[in-house]
Amino acid sequence: MNKFILIIFIFLVTGCAEQRIIDDLALINAVGYDLSDNEKNPLKLTVTFPIITKDGKYDRKTIMVEGKTSKEAREKVRFKTNYKLESGQVRVSLFGQELAKEGLLPNLHSLVRDPSLGTRVKLALAENEASDILMLQIKNEGQNATYLEQFLSKLNRENFRTNYNIYQYLRDYYDDGIDPILPVFKVEKNNIAYNGIGLFHEDKLIEILKPSEASYLFLFREEMKQGVFVEQIDVGEEEQASIMLNYELKNHHIEVPSTPNKPKEASIYIELIGDIVEYTGKEDVSEPKIQRKIEAIITKKIKMEGKKLIIKLQKLQVDPIGINRYVRNKMSYNQWKSLDQYKSYQDMNINIETKVFINSTGKWK
Amino acid sequence: MRKDRNRFFKDIKLQKEPIRESVSTEDTILARNPILQQFINNFSNHSDLSVTEFPHLTVKIYYFSYLINKDHYEQFLSNIRTITLDELPPFLNHSEFKRLSNFDSIEEAILSGSGILFTEKRAYELPFKEGSGRSIAPSETETVILGAHDSFVESIDVNLSLIRKRVLSSQLKTIKLHVGNKAKRTVYLLYIEGEASEKDIEEIKKRILSIKNDAIVDTNMLVQFIDEHPNSPFPQFYTTERPDVIAYKLFDGKVAGLMDNSPFAFCTPVSFFDFMESMDDFGQRWIVSTFIKVTRYIAILVTLLFTALYVAVTTYHYEMIPQALLPTLLVSRSKVPFPPVIEALFLEFLLELLREAGARLPTKVGQTIGIVGGIVIGQAAVQAGITSNILIIVVAASAIASFVVPNYLLSTSIRIVRFGFIIISGFWGNLGIIFGMGILIIHLSSLTNLNSPYLLPISPMFPKFFKYSLIRGSFKKKAERG
């Protein structure tokens, strides 16, 4: 009898958890943050969530509001839908370029603070306005959020390690030896397209690298395990050939020589093994001699383009490769604290040592 | 009218006492037999009791004509007709006639189909017992693919012979017990001396003898009188129709029990994992049957939790839904007017109805039920917007999983427990499921069967025995280890 009373108490006294039945919810799957011209409400929030139309079809609804902060804007979204707003299904969070230049951290913090959001929410930048991307209605494409998430996962699986979620972004942000990067998307002929990599100094966007430059950046970042190298190379005098190389990054390490004070130089060693997929030159690439020659040309090309890129990064005072982590590893904590890291980074002489091996030239002789 | 009734009663009265009448006409020598007097007193209102007299031998034979074998009876009559009074004592000394010295044994003998022969002083049992009954047929509740196909029948003698044939050892001992106050039912306890523990035998004997109820008709009912936790939904004594299972368990050191007129034998002490075993496991290669056993454990979890998980996720934890599943789930849920817990309980209840209806109906009508249930539940319920597609799959999967559990008793208990999980997940979501699992595990580990823990090799933990209960280890290794 006592047990029975206890069970009754357990059910009646504790009450029930707050019910969130999925068909009554607006499950936000993407949010976009932009700056607006409105001075009172500087933040423009765009959310998109799936709805089921009256004839039983899976559709989406996108709502755009302006507010003071992201949570205040969210409250305004709440007044614009008949469903209960829930953010537990957010997959992608987009930031407009203007907003990113002012710093992502306040908005990121409000994302992290929400317990229903995981740290695996993917982040991306919009070249112009995040709302443009989320509002875009692509024919037969369904949810923009699903599209973006698949796009980001695909980029990650392929050769661009741009799978940036909140965890990775914040890890790179709080690690004082490296700066975070984020992929950039833009609206292009009624489609959403990848358009390079945004470089951050702390949480502020500094510059957007073109996709062609970005592919060199990834060559020097260590997460990169394999990729495609497509480039115009000079063969002989005044003669150009297009080459495509499927490569595997066999070896990657960064060396900073130990110095008592300020580090003067650093070297990035990479070793590629590749298969030639396309070559438009006149020579027969199956010949070892020609292969050696091409290897030398590619090595030179990587060195040259890489150097150009690194000088650009040094000028911008951004360190997405993480050279400062290696600098930090070579000195004591006090030395590191007293070091003006971006200043020393800017003055550093960074060498690139590349080795390229051509493994095969494809199926055809 | 009244007169008619009286006459009717009179007729009955006349019919009722053929014995008295015959006694009174007979010489009083037979009445001197005190056992016969007691017998006649006790069986006074039995109009179906037949009596044959041989006045020249001063012998009376009582029997129930429908319980005996007519051929044996005729044979006996032709024998006894030829003998004289002097030849009677040596004739009765013959080994097939057992001398009965008290009323209880007479009562048991005549009710089990023997004839009773009364002389002036003594009583003898005449073996007229009817041997025939249902013939041995494959088991309906426990079918196997690899293994023997015979199963127990209602006759306890046949059942004993089926076990004896498999345990060819003088060490197989039997204890005969009687259950009940008035209607004595015979229960045989079987064990292999040296393998089974004396304590177990004494304990089970004590429990069976303490039963005071008379209306026990089957082994499955008997075991509920002797188990330790009558309020648990889980079966505690292992009951089976298969003699090979009982033989295997006997060699394992367990005590088996047979009851007359029941095609089920019980077996004790057993644990939860005995209910997860099928005789097929021993016929398969050990790798295969280990895989099948693991499948069964997964099936139990699916039966218990799958529907509950659906309710929890759709009611509370929308974050857990994979993105690819979200569109289908949203579309199919959007038409349903009920909260998921009502929807799930409704469908589960419908399924239980269907299952129960199918179990009780004749096979031909059962097919109709299958078609009606399949179409109504499968198609129309979704189209009418009463349930969602996904839930149909979930409920069907957990129903199928419940049939994977080889023991019917356990499979039914788990299906009942599942309803508890659905309700608790409707209240508290995943938290409720975890609570429910905790309560279930606490309950299971508090159960005992004949003082042996229900979750034996796991709690208390004996990793050595995992090989032969949780999974099925190789026989060769077992033989080497002895």
Same domain? For B166 and B205 the reply is yes
Token couple for A176: 């004082």
Same domain? For B231 and B320 the reply is no
* ipTM field: 0.80
Q: CB-based contact (8 Å) between A4 and chain B?
A: no
Cβ distance A52 to B334 less than 8 Å, yes or no, reads yes
Inside any domain, residue B76: yes
Count the helix, strand and coil residues of chain A and give each as a percent rounded to the nearest 5: 35, 30, 35
Confidence of residue B17 (pLDDT cuts 50, 70, 90): very low
Torsion of CA B18, B24, B29, B34, to 10 degrees: 60
Same domain? For B414 and B321 the reply is yes
Fold of A210-365: GMP Synthetase; Chain A, domain 3 (3.30.300)
Residues of B in contact with A61 (CB under 8 A): none
Same domain? For B299 and B265 the reply is no
Report the domain count for chain B: 3
Question: Is residue A161 scored above 50 in pLDDT?
Answer: yes
Q: What whole-number percentage of chain A has pLDDT above 70?
A: 94
Inside any domain, residue B302: yes
Same domain? For B292 and B258 the reply is no
Same domain? For B170 and B193 the reply is yes
pLDDT tens-digit map of A108-135: 888 888 888 888 888 999 988 888 888 8
Over range A49-66, report the average pLDDT. Answer: 86
Token couple for B64: 């129930």
CA distance A46 to B308: 35
pLDDT tens-digit map of B313-350: 999 999 889 888 888 888 888 888 899 999 999 999 98
Cβ distance A21 to B330 less than 8 Å, yes or no, reads no
Q: Are A60 and A142 in contact (CB under 8 A)?
A: yes
Q: CB-based contact (8 Å) between A86 and chain B?
A: yes
Inside any domain, residue B44: yes
Inside any domain, residue B470: no
Inside any domain, residue B137: no
Query: Using alpha carbons only, what angle is made at residue B302 by residues B299 and B304, rounded to the nearest 5 degrees?
Result: 110
Mutate one of B232, B330, B434, B442 to test the A interface: name it (highest A CB count within 10 A): B330
pLDDT tens-digit map of B193-243: 998 999 999 999 999 999 888 888 899 999 999 989 999 999 999 999 999
Facing B330 at nearest CB: one of A11, A58, A91 = A58
Same domain? For B308 and B431 the reply is yes
CA distance B310 to B390: 9
Task: Report whether the peptide linkage leading into residue B269 is cis, meaning its omega lies within 30 degrees of zero.
Answer: yes
Same domain? For B427 and B397 the reply is yes
Same domain? For B182 and B65 the reply is no
Q: CB-based contact (8 Å) between A25 and chain B?
A: yes
Task: Report whether the peptide linkage leading into residue B460 is cis, meaning its omega lies within 30 degrees of zero.
Answer: yes
Facing A20 at nearest CB: one of B318, B330, B334 = B318
Q: CB-based contact (8 Å) between B387 and chain A?
A: no
Return the pLDDT at A14: 65
Confidence of residue B18 (pLDDT cuts 50, 70, 90): very low
CA distance B450 to B191: 15
pLDDT tens-digit map of B420-474: 999 999 988 999 999 999 999 999 999 999 999 999 889 889 988 888 888 888 8
Cβ distance A21 to B339 less than 8 Å, yes or no, reads yes
Facing B316 at nearest CB: one of A11, A17, A27 = A17
Confidence of residue B246 (pLDDT cuts 50, 70, 90): very high
Facing B326 at nearest CB: one of A17, A19, A89 = A89
Q: CB-based contact (8 Å) between B339 and chain A?
A: yes
Q: Are A88 and A60 in contact (CB under 8 A)?
A: no
Same domain? For B197 and B329 the reply is no
Cβ distance B319 to A88 less than 8 Å, yes or no, reads yes
Facing B318 at nearest CB: one of A16, A27, A56 = A27
Query: Using alpha carbons only, what angle is made at residue B367 by residues B363 and B368, rounded to the nearest 5 degrees?
Result: 120
Rounded to 10 deg, the angle between the B340-360 and B408-446 helix axes is 130
pLDDT tens-digit map of B169-187: 899 999 999 888 877 888 9
Number of C-beta neighbours around residue B295 at 10 A: 12
Residues of B in contact with A22 (CB under 8 A): 314, 318, 321, 329-330, 333
Same domain? For B80 and B176 the reply is no
Return the pLDDT at A198: 92
Domain ranges of chain A: 1-209, 210-365
Q: Are B449 and B228 in contact (CB under 8 A)?
A: yes
Residues of A in contact with B427 (CB under 8 A): 11, 16-17
Nearest-CA distance A88 → chain B (Å): 5
Q: Considering the entire predicted model, what is its pTM?
A: 0.81
Q: Which domain holds residue B161?
A: 156-270
The A residues from 128 to 147 touching B (CB cutoff 8 Å) are 146
Tell which of B110, B126, B142 closes a domain: B126
Same domain? For B17 and B109 the reply is yes
